[in-house]
């Protein structure tokens, strides 16, 4: 590896660190404004979506839905498993729900609409304490990690940065 390429790789790495320390994100559940609904296929499932994303303490989840027809219930694991809507930890029904992920560990959400949870409208996200935890450790980084999940319109800076990081990653290491 030539010196120039080496130093550019170092720069890319520093930028990657900066990116990882950058401000908390707002993550739109399901990746689009129509994301909180009964999944029509397995690949559309919210947990499949969540598995392709990284959540760290300080990030917020954002749900968009018709407040007349749906809601978001934060529940414990048991109620998540059983789709039990009777005693949620929190209930949100304003149609534009934002929940800050304020601790590490799992968060469980189900739809409050009758029968929706049973049909798969449920979500578990596992929140990491720090984005540093996986930097450079993942043996096969996927593009998703660097593009990040879809972010709310307010965070355009973050997605720009994400694009930059993808370019830098490709340049510095020549791989995805």
Per residue, the 3-state secondary structure of the chain, as one string, reads CCHHHHHHHHHHHHHHHHHHCCCCCEEEHHHCCCCCCCCCCHHHCHHHHHHCCCEECCCEEEEECCCCCCCEEEECHHHHHHCCCCCCCEEECCCEEEEECCCCEEEEEEECCCCCCCCCCEEEEEEECCHHHHCCCCCCCCHHHHHCCCECHHHHHHHHHHHHHHHHHHHHHCCC
Q: How far is the CB of 77 from ligand NAG (least distance, A)?
A: 12
Q: How far is the CB of 112 from ligand NAG (least distance, A)?
A: 13
Q: How far is the CB of 116 from ligand NAG (least distance, A)?
A: 16
Nearer to ligand NAG, 66 or 90 (CB): 90
Nearer to ligand NAG, 73 or 127 (CB): 73
Residue ranges binding ligand NAG (CB under 6 A): 82, 84, 86-87
Q: How far is the CB of 78 from ligand NAG (least distance, A)?
A: 8
Residue with the CB atom nearest ligand NAG in the bound state = 84
Nearer to ligand NAG, 120 or 149 (CB): 120
């Amino acid at each position: 590896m030539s010196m120039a390429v080496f130093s550019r790789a170092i720069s890319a790495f520093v930028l990657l660190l900066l990116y990882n320390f950058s401000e908390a994100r707002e993550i739109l559940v399901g990746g689009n404004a129509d994301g909180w609904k009964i999944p029509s296929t397995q690949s559309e499932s919210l947990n499949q979506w969540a598995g392709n994303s990284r959540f760290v303490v300080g990030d917020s989840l954002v749900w968009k839905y018709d407040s007349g027809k749906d809601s978001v219930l934060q529940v414990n694991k048991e109620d998540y498993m059983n789709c039990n809507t009777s005693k949620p930890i929190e209930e949100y029904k304003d149609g534009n729900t934002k929940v800050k992920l304020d601790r590490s560990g799992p968060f469980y959400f189900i739809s409050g609409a009758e029968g929706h949870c049973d049909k798969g409208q449920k979500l578990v996200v596992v929140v990491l304490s720090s984005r540093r935890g996986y930097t450079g450790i993942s043996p096969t980084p996927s593009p998703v990690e660097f593009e990040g999940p879809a972010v709310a319109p307010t965070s355009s800076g973050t997605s720009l940065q994400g694009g930059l990081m993808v370019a830098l990653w490709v340049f510095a290491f020549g791989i995805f």
